[in-house]
Amino acid sequence: MANQNQAAFDEGVFTFDGEAFGITDLTLGEETSEIDVSDTETDAGESEFLYGKTSRPISFTAFHKVNTASLPTKVQKAFTFSIFDETGLLQDVFSGNCTLGTKSLTGSRDGAITWAYTGRVQGALGESV
Residue 108, phi then psi, degrees to nearest 5: -155, 160
Q: Would you give per-residue pLDDT tens digits along the chain (129 residues)?
A: 455 666 666 678 999 988 899 988 888 999 999 998 888 888 887 888 899 999 999 999 998 888 888 999 999 999 999 888 777 667 789 999 999 999 999 988 888 899 999 999 999 898 887
How many CA atoms are closer than 13 Å to the CA of 121, on its beta-carbon side?
A: 23
- Return d(Cα 109, Cα 72) in angstroms, integer: 26
pTM value is 0.78
The Cα–Cα gap between 62 and 116 comes to 6
Domain 11-128 annotated CATH 2.60.40.10:
no
Check residue 65 and give its pLDDT: 83
Alpha-carbon span 47 to 115, nearest angstrom: 43
**How far apart are the C-alpha atoms of 70 and 12, rounded to whole Å?**
18
Domain chopping of the chain, boundaries: 11-128
CA–CA gap between residue 22 and residue 81 (Å, rounded): 10
